[in-house]
């Protein structure tokens, strides 16, 4: 739950981050947040810290989607872009479907912490790979940069938070 809500909110800010810093730099930051969240989850001594780690992962995960789409859009020729973006969508869908099953198998074989622990080195490898790209791509032009819409983002975050709270407690409305 904390992952999904924070991922939705962070995706909103990721587009502005891509405009400001470029897709590779935004992806590296996203992977760093995702990996940090995975490390927090793998070592969490309580459910509250596990939930916090998932929220940190969500901040990176939501921005990863936007950054990956921006990177493909900038790097791939227009005639083959649709195929690459379709494959990226398929990859995200397959991971969303298979992820819980893989986590269950890892839990059975080792521990639930193993699922999070394996994500840390994967994030580091992806960061190193993207780092080799970031030197080749300059920052976007200053004329194209847009300021972060912090106030709009806060309003939307509040709306999402209230909506999630309302629908979560909808069956118990009479108790509110």
Q: Choose among 114, 98, 95, 94: nearest CA to 106.
A: 114
Beta-sheet strands, E only, within the chain: none
Alpha-helical segments (H) within 110-135:
112-117, 119-134
H or E element: which one contains 118?
A: none
Residue-level pLDDT at 176? 44
Reading the block at residue 29, the tokens are 């930051």
Instruction: Evaluate whether 14 touches 30 at the Cβ level (below 8 Å).
Output: yes
pTM: 0.72
Average pLDDT, consecutive stretches of 10 residues, N- to C-terminus, the chain (176 residues): 84 84 85 92 89 89 87 84 84 82 80 84 86 59 50 58 56 49
Longest dimension (CA), the chain: 58
């Amino acid at each position: 739950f904390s992952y999904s809500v924070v991922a939705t909110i962070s995706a909103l800010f990721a587009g502005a981050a891509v405009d400001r810093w470029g897709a590779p730099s935004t992806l590296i930051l996203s992977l760093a947040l995702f990996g940090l969240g995975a490390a927090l989850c793998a070592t969490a001594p309580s459910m509250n810290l596990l939930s916090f780690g998932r929220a940190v992962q969500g901040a990176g995960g939501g921005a990863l989607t936007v950054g990956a789409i921006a990177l493909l859009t900038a790097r791939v020729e227009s005639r083959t872009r649709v195929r690459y973006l379709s494959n990226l969508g398929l990859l995200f869908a397959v991971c969303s479907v298979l992820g819980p099953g893989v986590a269950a198998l890892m839990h059975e074989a080792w521990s639930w912490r193993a699922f999070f622990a394996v994500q840390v080195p994967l994030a580091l490898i992806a960061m190193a790979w993207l780092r080799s790209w970031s030197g080749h791509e300059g920052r976007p032009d200053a004329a194209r940069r847009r300021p972060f819409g912090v106030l709009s983002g806060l309003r939307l975050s509040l709306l999402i938070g209230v909506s999630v709270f309302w629908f979560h407690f909808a069956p118990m409305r009479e108790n509110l």
